[in-house]
Structure 1
């Protein structure tokens, strides 16, 4: 009853998780206040290691340009969204529009790689 996952589908899943871990390490770095708070500093380095590791695994299958653009895009959208929600960053229409353009770019790269 189990179906096997294609290498490409697995690589895209790993890449998405790597992007989410990029959001974690960037947010934890902000919370570490210049690496002065040990728990957030440890989370920063642990999440960064995991993010790079999963990106490396995804690169076994995906083209480097596509994978890197998607990885940084997922991270950028996630961190920008958290900035709006939790770090009191301005939520202008132009800013939200630019974030939407990044999402469109990510989806476009995914669609073109299929």
Structure 2
């Protein structure tokens, strides 16, 4: 169950990071509210998962999901560049997440 909660926490990290970009430096109300609510949910779920999972594993997986998710949102919705080095970097992050999952005792 902790892994599912951690995955959802990572998805909320993508939500708040994307909303923060749309808030234009917290000058737009609704994206700013989504950012703050997303942060609270994401941090709360991360904290819950850390009751079971090791700190290093939980934090690394949460950050990795957020990083790769934000990368995908940037490409899919914000017109950010997609090229081989960026794709390889994202692939390495995903590989690291999978290795952390496989090597975790919990």
Q: Does 1:80 align with 2:71?
A: yes
Find the residue that maps to 1:30 and give its secondary structure.
helix
How far off its partner does 1:89 sit? Answer: 1.2
Q: Does 1:22 align with 2:13?
A: yes
Q: Equivalents in 2 of 1:88, 1:28: separation in Å? A: 16
- Give the TM-score taking structure 1 as reference length: 0.90
Match in the other structure for 1:67: 58
How far off its partner does 1:78 sit? Answer: 0.1
- Name structure 1 gaps, 5 residues minimum: 1-9
Name the larger-Rg structure.
1
- Name structure 2 gaps, 5 residues minimum: none
Residue correspondences, number: 105
